[in-house]
Amino acid sequence: MDIFNYADELKYGSIHLKADQETGLRAIVAVHNLKFGPGIGGCRFIEYESSDAAITDAMRLARGMTYKAAISGLPHGGGKAVIMRPKGLTEEGRAKLFARYGEFVDSLGGIYITCEDSGTSVNDMNIVKQHTNHVLGYDPASGSSGDPSPLTAYGVRRGIEAAAKHQFGRDNLEGLKVSIQGVGSVGYYLAKELHALGAELIVTDINPASVKRCEDEFGAKAVGADAIYDVDCDIFAPCALGSILNDQTIGRLKCDVVAGASNNQLAQDRHGEALRARGILYAPDYAINAGGLMNVAQEFAGYDLDAVRERVHGIYDTMLHIFERAAKEELPTHLVADKIVEEKLYS
């Protein structure tokens, strides 16, 4: 892949690289768009096959953060950090690595604000906080918002309610069958929200303990990881991996709605059209799962849980607008969501 061609394709701002031999830090910060404010997005800390794969991931995810912030009306652009996780890292080594990462973020002068993501923790952000003020999602005892998972799940629940209204003409979820793929963090809180509203749950997860917790607490039915695509249900909620809506899975789905928390659910744009062709309503991921971003972004104004919940509550209206406009324009919902964002960014 040619990085500059990819940057042009995604209408990119800047990409920053940091290599540190002492700690083993190999970090990429991608800053996609700053029209509405500094780029905000998590720091992903996982193993990558190559630096090209890491850079591509950072660029793709940062663009997604731009779109998520814009469709949510937040005063931020999109950014993302990726750290290539070294093998055999000790706890002491990890602390030194994140200290150096904090210095890297600080050197960017505030154009990017980092926070927790896959593979990182509140403790990692506490270390970063010692070296830069451009960080969110650290220890709540120090004034941060902490774990965003419950509010992300609340937003997804509101989006599911909007989908039920549009697709089924229903104002409640009582008795609807919802299959959830991934119940480790956001998926667990989503299951809790849906159970409280009377939904019937079918769940899967690679961690048996997470599945059992949902069985015990919510009376959920468990299925195998691959069998989740064949579940006969009303709503399928992907809350784990990306690219799970693809040529192999879409034909197997037996649902009327796909609405979940995971990022980049469509393997390719054409898979959004494939869902529409099957009459399946798709809730664009970056719009429905924006609750976590809303949560950390609120820290800039002084954290207020009531204010955050009010903003997250509005995801219902955002999703309903997307669904209604898509129906009117006879377009897939993910293209309509993109149009709404691009009208804001490039008009």
87 catalytic? Reply is: no
Are 20 and 103 a contacting pair, CB within 8 Å?
Answer: no
DSSP β-ladder status, 200-204 and 257-258: unpaired
Q: Check whether 186 is labelled as a binding-site residue.
A: yes
Q: Tell me: is residue 41 an annotated ligand-binding position.
A: no
Indicate which residue of 18, 80, 129, 192 is catalytic: 80
Q: Are 165 and 219 in contact (CB under 8 A)?
A: no
Is 183 annotated to bind a ligand? Reply is yes
Q: Would you say 185 is a known binding-site residue?
A: yes
Residue 86 CA to residue 249 CA, distance in Å, equals: 33
Instruction: Could you list the residues known to form a binding site for NAD(+), using ranges.
Output: 182-187
Binding residues: 182-187
| Residues carrying an active site annotation | 80
